[in-house]
């Protein structure tokens, strides 16, 4: 079953610290070319662990659009 939410990174504010990557139970986050974190939205289950631990407060949960 697909989650109702997923997280997105504000890439302008991300400092590539990797905290979110360590926190994510689904391994849904990677650092793009050493510059900023990217969430694989197909894997993310919207658990919010990353959004709560990001020291730069730059990950937010957003609603997944329902495809009917």
Interface ranges with ligand SF4 (CB under 6 A): 7, 9, 14-20, 23-24, 26, 28-29, 37, 39, 44-50, 54, 56, 58-59
Q: Which tokens go with 37?
A: 């974190």
> Shortest distance, CB of residue 68 to ligand SF4, whole angstroms?
23
> Shortest distance, CB of residue 65 to ligand SF4, whole angstroms?
16
CB 40 within 8 A of CB 29: yes
CB 45 within 8 A of CB 11: no
Given the complex with ligand SF4, which of 25 and 68 has the nearer CB atom? 25
Residues forming beta bridges with residue 60, ordered by sequence position: 8
Q: Which tokens go with 66?
A: 């329902």
Given the complex with ligand SF4, which of 1 and 68 has the nearer CB atom? 1
């Amino acid at each position: 079953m697909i989650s109702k939410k997923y997280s997105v990174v504000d890439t302008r504010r991300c400092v590539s610290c990797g905290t979110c990557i360590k926190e994510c139970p689904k391994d849904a986050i990677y650092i793009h070319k050493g510059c900023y974190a990217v969430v694989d939205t197909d894997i993310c289950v919207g658990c919010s662990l990353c959004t709560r631990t990001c020291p730069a407060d730059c990950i937010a949960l957003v609603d997944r659009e329902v495809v009917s």
